[in-house]
Chains A and B, each alone.
Chain A
């Protein structure tokens, strides 16, 4: 149960993992389950589902817009948990919920962890949860419900702090590729590649997945040379928004990044 799926996936020194992020309740309220299922079937290795929030300060225009649409579709935390429960009936890869802290706090942190765990969630990413508060107030609860909590590092995170994060994270480290909000962008710069290399050379206890700005096969492949895999968000959400046949779009999207 819970973090075990992640431990299993990351336990055997994996490479080339594709994690796909999408916003719950977008484009339609009930799409969450279908999208997750199709991702699993098409060969994604992890699913990250975004909890929509009114004020997503770390997100660029594409994910901001998906949050807004999801909320106007009537998405809520209880509905999201129901959808994950349903998704779990047919999907066996790890499912991670990613969201800003406020909706989780309003639901009740303890209750949220319990219900998420019961629904079959494996881990959480809460980008605005500080490390100190996690250690002193929340860690015990996360552990009690056997959830993983995945922390971020960025190009400006100091080495000492990366070590601390390596000590606190469970499953993997989310390596943010650039100092930026989320969004698809051009090819990686020399500086970014040096940062990936620096992370790799640190021989951290946990593997890292690279996210933010991964949009196509070349950027995915580059990320996989350094990390255990990569996370794609905005590019996938952009595809969902524009594609006529969602299911086929998802299959093609996954195959284009990660040819079998």
Chain B
């Protein structure tokens, strides 16, 4: 298994658990217990039961015929946007809250960028009757208002992160600080395949239900569980990790991860970590990281709050380094155009994050009988204001 985490918590050169001593007992408790808990029969029953009855899984694998005609290939959309709360994030929060209960932790904290992970966390906390605190950058609170209100309606406390650029990175810092201050009764539900080991592996396992279902659904629809290509956007990389998971060892399946280029990879306003990043340590793991020559973390930029992160999960750093996944980029404009195109062509308004994945359809060559699966990680309801305010370039 070339792409699994090793027993030291690394994917090749990346990963590990670079945390201060105050967090060591928490991370160590997770490390020693997560596999035993995840593999427990009772846990699996409860996890899959909730995914089915509460989240609404399996999510459809929809053959997008008009989009397919347009791009002259066979495009399927994995409809994570139809999950309860509107994105794939809830697959992970269901898993982690069940785990937290088995660890005897009754309080939950989380960070959020677009607010999707925050909403998904607030939702499962309401479901389980647990106290929920969500850290969110002040800037993100402004650009994702509806999600802030949703979290509050669900009973969560939303705390603005006021440090740094006041986006996802800073919210994550605040959540880690909170955890340092309340280590014994609190579980930190990280929202992507980032953070110290075992988080990246744990979150990838919870999200792997995405590719597990893709395999079954393709078997039914195409008589073959393997697509030719899978495309997913990469912020921290959780929907991509989930969509790639069961295909990683099958090298004939082409995997494409799409990062946010913002205003252009070289514009100084970008979140394209694989191009702009170097190995470094952030939020507890060694990974690719956008940083200055002096090792200060650079503030990324993307129109989509969920992709506005200066690193990627260590698994993805490894997939990039080994060449297993082709990392590509989409600018703000390309993503917005692709989002509108899907809206008009298939009647689906995607999250702007997911629109980045769609934007690479026109940049790749596919054969007419290729099967291309796009991870439609979330729906665009939270992004309506951005869609409304956005003017196509050729309209100006």
Q: Do B18 and A128 have beta carbons less than 8 Å apart?
A: yes
Q: Is B173's CB within 8 Å of the partner chain A?
A: yes
Looking at the assembled complex, report how far the CB atom of B63 sits from the nearest CB atom of chain A, in whole angstroms.
44
Residues of B within 8 Å of A68, CB to CB, are: 163
Looking at the assembled complex, report how far the CB atom of B167 sits from the nearest CB atom of chain A, in whole angstroms.
12
Question: Considering the chains assembled together, what is the distance between the CA atoms of A185 and B136 in angstroms?
Answer: 26
Q: Do A181 and B281 have beta carbons less than 8 Å apart?
A: no
Q: Is B1's CB within 8 Å of the partner chain A?
A: no
Return the contact of B297 from the options A101, A102, A154, A157 (Cβ within 8 A): A102
Question: Considering the chains assembled together, what is the distance between the CA atoms of A130 and B25 in angstroms?
Answer: 13
Contact with B along A68-103 (1 / 0, CB 8 A): 100100001100000000000000000000001111
Q: Is A64's CB within 8 Å of the partner chain B?
A: yes
Question: Considering the chains assembled together, what is the distance between the CA atoms of A58 and B181 in angstroms?
Answer: 10
Q: Which stretch, B102-110, B287-295, B341-349, B387-395, touches the partner chain A? A: B287-295
Q: Is A53's CB within 8 Å of the partner chain B?
A: yes
A16-72 residues at the B interface, CB under 8 angstroms: 53-60, 64, 68, 71
Q: Is B61's CB within 8 Å of the partner chain A?
A: no
Interface of chain A, main secondary structure: loop
Give A61's nearest chain B residue, CB to CB. Answer: B163
Residues of A within 8 Å of B183, CB to CB, are: 156, 179
Contacts A54-B297, A76-B294, A102-B295; A128 near B22 (Cβ below 8 A): no
Q: Is B268's CB within 8 Å of the partner chain A?
A: no
Q: Is A180's CB within 8 Å of the partner chain B?
A: yes
Q: Is B176's CB within 8 Å of the partner chain A?
A: yes
Q: Do B21 and A151 have beta carbons less than 8 Å apart?
A: yes
B142-188 residues at the A interface, CB under 8 angstroms: 163-164, 169, 173, 176-177, 180-184
Residues of A within 8 Å of B280, CB to CB, are: 102, 105-106
Interface size class of B (residues with CB under 8 A): 35 or more
Interface size class of A (residues with CB under 8 A): 35 or more
Q: Do A153 and B296 have beta carbons less than 8 Å apart?
A: no
Q: Do A105 and B295 have beta carbons less than 8 Å apart?
A: yes
B14-73 residues at the A interface, CB under 8 angstroms: 16-22, 24-25
Looking at the assembled complex, report how far the CB atom of A257 sits from the nearest CB atom of chain B, in whole angstroms.
24
Q: Do B295 and A104 have beta carbons less than 8 Å apart?
A: yes
Interface centre among B22, B177, B283 (most CB of A within 10 A): B22
Looking at the assembled complex, report how far the CB atom of B15 sits from the nearest CB atom of chain A, in whole angstroms.
11
Return the contact of B22 from the options A53, A58, A76, A133 (Cβ within 8 A): A58
Question: Considering the chains assembled together, what is the distance between the CA atoms of A181 and B175 in angstroms?
Answer: 12
B235-291 residues at the A interface, CB under 8 angstroms: 278-284, 289, 291
Contacts A106-B280, A130-B18; A54 near B296 (Cβ below 8 A): yes
Q: Do B24 and A58 have beta carbons less than 8 Å apart?
A: no
Q: Is A250's CB within 8 Å of the partner chain B?
A: no
Give B175's nearest chain A residue, CB to CB. Answer: A57
Q: Do B296 and A58 have beta carbons less than 8 Å apart?
A: no
Question: Considering the chains assembled together, what is the distance between the CA atoms of A158 and B29 in angstroms?
Answer: 12
Give A78's nearest chain B residue, CB to CB. Answer: B294
Q: Is B362's CB within 8 Å of the partner chain A?
A: no
Q: Is A176's CB within 8 Å of the partner chain B?
A: yes
Return the contact of B296 from the options A60, A71, A104, A179 (Cβ within 8 A): A71
Question: Considering the chains assembled together, what is the distance between the CA atoms of A102 and B169 in angstroms?
Answer: 15
Residues of B within 8 Å of A3, CB to CB, are: none
Q: Do B164 and A58 have beta carbons less than 8 Å apart?
A: no
Residues of B within 8 Å of A55, CB to CB, are: 164, 169, 173, 282-283, 297
Question: Considering the chains assembled together, what is the distance between the CA atoms of A105 and B278 in angstroms?
Answer: 11
Question: Considering the chains assembled together, what is the distance between the CA atoms of A57 and B18 in angstroms?
Answer: 11
Question: Considering the chains assembled together, what is the distance between the CA atoms of A104 and B163 in angstroms?
Answer: 22
Give A64's nearest chain B residue, CB to CB. Answer: B163
Q: Do B289 and A158 have beta carbons less than 8 Å apart?
A: no
Q: Do A103 and B22 have beta carbons less than 8 Å apart?
A: no
Residues of A within 8 Å of B184, CB to CB, are: 156, 179
Q: Is B363's CB within 8 Å of the partner chain A?
A: no
Q: Do B294 and A154 have beta carbons less than 8 Å apart?
A: no
Q: Do A181 and B25 have beta carbons less than 8 Å apart?
A: no
Residues of B within 8 Å of A138, CB to CB, are: none
Q: Do A154 and B21 have beta carbons less than 8 Å apart?
A: yes
Q: Do A77 and B295 have beta carbons less than 8 Å apart?
A: yes
Residues of A within 8 Å of B296, CB to CB, are: 53-54, 71, 103
Looking at the assembled complex, report how far the CB atom of A241 sits from the nearest CB atom of chain B, in whole angstroms.
17
Q: Do B22 and A179 have beta carbons less than 8 Å apart?
A: yes
Residues of B within 8 Å of A53, CB to CB, are: 295-296
Chain A positions within 8 Å of B, measured between CB atoms, are 53-60, 64, 68, 71, 76-77, 100-107, 127-130, 132-133, 151-154, 156-158, 161, 176, 179-181
Chain B positions within 8 Å of A, measured between CB atoms, are 8, 16-22, 24-25, 163-164, 169, 173, 176-177, 180-184, 278-284, 289, 291, 293-297
Which 8 pairs from chain A and chain B are nearest by CB? A106-B295, A103-B295, A152-B21, A127-B20, A54-B296, A58-B20, A156-B25, A54-B297
Q: 15 A-B contacts, Cβ less than 8 Å apart?
A: A54-B296, A55-B164, A55-B169, A55-B282, A57-B20, A57-B173, A64-B163, A77-B295, A102-B281, A102-B289, A156-B25, A157-B24, A180-B22, A181-B177, A181-B181
Given contacts A58-B20, A128-B281, A161-B24, list 18 more A-B pairs with CB under 8 A. A53-B295, A54-B164, A54-B296, A56-B173, A58-B177, A64-B163, A101-B18, A102-B282, A105-B280, A106-B280, A106-B293, A128-B284, A130-B16, A132-B8, A133-B18, A154-B24, A157-B25, A179-B181
